[in-house]
Amino acid sequence: MAKIGFIGLGIMGAHMARNLLKGGHTLAVNGKYPVPDDLRTQTTVVADSTAVAQVSDVIIVMVPDTPDVQNVLFADDGVAKGLSAGKLVIDMSSISPLETQQFAKQINALGCDYLDAPVSGGEVGARDATLSIMVGGPEKAFNQAKPLFEIMGKNISLVGDNGAGQTTKVANQIIVALNIEAVAEALLFAARSGADPERVRKALMGGFASSRILEVHGERMTKRTFNPGFRIELHQKDLNLAIDGARKLGIALPHTASAQQLFSVCAANGGKAWDHSAMIRALEIMANFEIAQAPEAQAKAA
């Protein structure tokens, strides 16, 4: 049984923490951040991130962006101030690969190991413990953390040194965004042509176009369930990492840029907190047509 500190109990982090508790581990959490009622009764709530590190052998961070991780780790009341040699810090946020390498060096200088282990799978994956976990860091630390990862996810890969996990996550987010865009365009085309988009989606699930995005996010699009599993503003952050990285590498990512523009249309129309499947709203705005329109409305628009 591990003594785990968990910082960042948001949409996904709370589910991940619950699964670790179900796995028999003890958790300490930072009382300065919101703590769901059920977790407050099952964990040790301490004063700040320094205290979390002091009472834990493994510290897991799951917060939105690079500055948030930097603050959690290195603020005056941050994790680094509470570390002692031999502890393990695992950042499961999705942040800059380059900054991650610098964070790892600072933690290593304190005699501790560091893993970047971003995840993919959204709220459903976090809840059902089916997350894909992409890990960067030393193999010894990975082997130490793997039993914990196996409680939270299914597809767990050590892909390289520190920063490699975050690089893999950025690549993942490119693929996810472009798949969402493809599904959205296909369902808009089908609906505007007069077909029932949900029936089209189900038919496509049996063919080569089948995908997890078509299955889960395609259904979100047809049922208009855009409450966030993964917010548009967070996917925008990830695509910014991709576009900034591409600029530094001197390569072009044209379709990543177009997906980012569609997310920006959603954000400009009040949708930065919508689920990223709501990218279809940007296409609908440009088409002046919603795929959920009734058949008579479709006929009138034809």
- Find where tokens 């296409």 sit: 283
CA 6 – CA 33 distance, rounded (Å): 11
154 touches 121 (CB < 8 A): no
Q: Is 80 exposed, middle or buried (0-12, 13-18, 19+ CB in 10 A)?
A: buried
The Cβ-side half-sphere exposure at 34, using a 13 Å CA radius, reads: 7
Q: State the DSSP code for 242.
A: H
262 touches 180 (CB < 8 A): no
Q: Which candidate in 22, 32, 87, 169 is catalytic?
A: 169
Is 169 catalytic? The answer is yes
15 touches 70 (CB < 8 A): no
- How far is the first Cα of the chain from the last one, in angstroms, to the nearest whole number? 63
Across the chain, where does the E strand assignment appear?
3-7, 26-30, 44-46, 58-61, 88-91, 113-116, 119-120, 131-136, 153-160
Active site residues: 169
